[in-house]
Structure 1
Amino acid sequence: MSNLYTRSEIYWARFKVRGIEYRHSLRTRSKSVAEKRLKALRQSIEDQALFGATGPVSWQDAVVSWNEHIARSISASTCTRYISSLGQIRTWLDNKSVQEIDGAVLRDLVKGRQRHGVTNATIRRDLTAIASVLAHCVDEGWVEENAAQAFNRKRVPERRDPILLPTDDDVAYTIGREATRFGDMMLLARETGMRQEEIAGLEHSSVDIKAQTITFIGKRRKLRSIPLSPVAVELISRQPRFLKCQFVFWHMDEDAEGKPIASRYRNVSSNFGDYTERAAARAAKTDVPYRRFRFHDLRHLFAVDYLRTGKGGIYDLQRILGHTTITTTEVYLDYLTPEQAQAARTGVAQKGAQKRRSGTDD
């Protein structure tokens, strides 16, 4: 059946899109003009049927729009992590509209990333970043469903590397003989189990020395309150304050006019890498046993020590670390003796640990 017909010598269009018949006057007596208008009209209706009333929105435009709004709802560190992930997956999405991103597109992305040797943990973070952008698209009315959120992540199971705890000698050797502000950041992680960015962003207003607690907004914007040991109190108390700087741990920087200012630590990972690299070089020269570790391993070391010395139970530790589920915290039970693990499960603090926490001796 022809898609063109005439009424009173005026050409009309007649066609179906997704089972719906459309008839429109093309307002011309010229067949060649009618054919061009038919093509444009049909393309417009097909686009509306496929993409919605707003038409296609490119992935790149969606990311720009998302970036303008996302800072209101997530932390700066999370935003930075998302942007890093989005930069890595441009090959698969930059030529797409958001309406075209479905399960098939995401499966191709996952396979492509795996072929490049990317770990499943990183791919899962990529999917989380994509889901954040698509959630914004849903809010804007550009798409109806979030394909990344619906994606079956069992396809990319996350296999965690076994935790290798550093020794106290490893920690001391990494810090070196001279006390530094960055070295104190490491020691505070060892004493509190705080994440590196939580320590880097720690503000004086979050610290209550008298009550020996730190209260702050942590990962996933959860309010956390953690106890401070006497050592942790000393570490924080000995940090010099810089005028008008709210951060406990700061480093010198320059403003736009070249004037000295105190700024929040921004490169914790790279600084820590420099520390462990120098420590490894010193150890190699002097034949000292030393194993490099990650800043996050100090958090693991705190957690195991907390349970091993009976300072509290597994649920106390979950609250201190800010874990969403107890399953995440229970991984530390593997580093305990059966007796210690049982005490941790029942939440029974050992008598000696209770006295150490209160500052009394036997």
Structure 2
Amino acid sequence: MAGIYLRGKTWWGRVQKDGQDLRQSLETRSESVARGRLKVWLDELEALAWGGKPRLTVNAAMDEFQKEHGPTLRPSTVRRYGVSIDHLDAFLGDKLLLTVRSSDLKDFETARRTAGASAPTVRRDLACLSTVFGFAIEKEWADINPVIPFLRQRAKRGLRESPPRTRYLTRAEEARLIESALPYVADAILFAIYTGLRQEEQFSLTWEQVDLARKHVTISAETAKGKRERTVILLAPALAVLKRIPRHLKSPFVFHHGAATTTRGARRALPSASTKKDNDGERFNHLDRGLRNAAKRAKVPLLRWHDLRRTHGCRLLQEEKWTLEMVRDQLGHRSVVQTERSYAFLEVEDRRMAAHGPGTNPGTAAAQEIDNATGEPIAAQKPAQGRRTDLEKLKKSTA
């Protein structure tokens, strides 16, 4: 028994099957359209009864994937998947999951590349779709994943990930960067260089995870990329940061807005007349802008926050002479093979030092570099003193 009925101004379908009363919105105000959609629904129920696959759209599958797996993913992964899902929904959302073919994926690639997306970006979008197909196969909504063979084929023609970054700070660059950074940004940079924590691991760090007596911090499984708890040893500069950084009376976070100051002295108080939300004590999500501004003043080009983590790994291998196993455990890599691949580029530096002697490795050379254009030592520009930009803007907005 099946039929349609109005609920408000929207038509709904009602089906009685196997003693159950099934109801579903047909999402239309047109009776003729509603009857057509009811027939599609009935055909789908009949197919499922005989072992067929549900006629889900790509958009519906992505929604279910987000509902079930979203809470288990790291915030950065959720944000990245969200960007890809928006593009996939706009191009493939209305298409049935079972009808997606290589030609559809090629059309999606062409549209994204025409819009200006790079090959690695398009590949990440398709990798997100591949994950959704894997989820659909687990749910028995699909039998095959068409994205995997497509990516394998297109990789031969340029649709591949970017080459791995090898950027890391020299001693000279580190000295200029710290001198050019605002104090709270400099502390965060130093801590990243001398712990190797990922950005989310660092800025979600709480004092409960810090053990100053044993000189280590514990990264929880919920925050770690590999979902495995690990202990990170604090090198001396990182330990010094924790000893001098101001603790908040109420906030549990190590890096919080209450520690943000541009002055070398005491922290300034927020204007009491402010009507804006007081974020005092809230954790930082990132300090990318602070790093970018400091790098510009210090004349340190092409620097990203993750490069600070890579610098830590390079220092452990080159200067501290840690084994690959120790570096693996410190950085939270899954295996020694991953660590070896990540730092294989250091072999070039080792050969340079073997050929030309100690002191020729720019990563461990003295903290001074020469500007190729002027022939003069590169000097850092210090940040403005006694001014706090966000407070100045706040005063103007409340005046």
Interval of TM-score (by shorter of Structure 1 and Structure 2): 0.5 to 0.7
Larger Rg: 1
In 1, are the aligned partners of 2:178 and 2:186 still within 8 Å (CA)?
yes
Match of 1:219 among 209, 225, 232: 225
Shift of 1:312: 0.7
2:242 maps to 1:239: no
CA positional deviation for 1:78: 1.3
Deviations 1:276-305 (A, max 9, x none): 34x16xx5xxxxxx4341112112222222
- Paired positions, count: 295
Task: Provide the identity percentage.
Answer: 24
The residue aligned with 2:291 is 272
Q: Structure 1: 5+ residue runs without aligned partners?
A: 1-36, 284-289, 342-362
Q: Mark the CA change 1:176 to 1:310 in structure 2 (over 3 Å): closer, same or farther.
A: closer
Query: How many Å apart are 1:174 and its aligned residue?
Result: 3.2
Tell whether the 8 Å contact from 1:124 to 1:153 is kept in structure 2 after alignment. no
Q: C-alpha offsets along residues 114-163 of structure 1, whole Å, 9 cap, x if unaligned? A: 44453343233223322333344344443344444565446233231552
Give the match's secondary structure for 2:285: coil
CA contact under 8 A between 1:304 and 1:332: conserved in structure 2? no
- 2:344 is the alignment partner of 1:331: yes
Amino acid at match of 2:93: D
How many angstroms does 1:102 deviate by? 4.2
Shift of 1:213: 1.5
Q: What TM-score do you get using the length of structure 2 for normalisation? A: 0.62
Partner of residue 307, structure 1:
317
Shift of 1:267: 3.7
Question: Is contact 1:323-1:329 (8 Å) kept?
Answer: no
Q: Does 1:291 align with 2:301?
A: yes
Among candidates 328, 345, 370, match of residue 318 of structure 1: 328
Question: Displacement of 1:55 after TM fit?
Answer: 4.0
Deviation at 1:178, TM superposition (A): 6.5
- The alignment partner of 1:72 has SS state of helix
CA gap of 1:46–1:80, structure 2 versus 1, over 3 A, is closer
Local SS of the residue matching 2:246: coil
Letter in 1 for 2:311: L
Quick one: higher RCO (CA 8 Å, sep 6+), 1 or 2?
A: 2
Write out per-residue CA displacement over residues 194-220 of structure 1, whole angstroms, 9 at most, x where no aligned residue: 222221111222222111112213113
Q: Distance in 2 between matches of 1:313 and 1:83?
A: 38
- Residues in 2 aligned to 1:306 and 1:66: alpha-carbon distance in whole angstroms: 40
Whether contact under 8 Å (2:55, 2:97) holds in the other structure is yes
Report the Cα distance in structure 2 between the residues aligned to 1:304 and 1:293, rounded to whole angstroms.
Answer: 15
Deviates more, 1:221-230 or 1:130-139: 130-139
- Matched residues in 2 for 1:270 and 1:69: separation? 34
Q: Secondary structure at the match of 1:197?
A: helix
Structure 2: tracts of 5 or more residues without a match = 1-34, 261-269, 355-399
Once the two structures are superposed, what CA deviation does each residue of 1:217-276 show, in whole Å capped at 9, x if it has no partner?
Answer: 31131322221112111112222222332211111599x994554212124334433433
- Is 1:119 matched up with 2:132? no
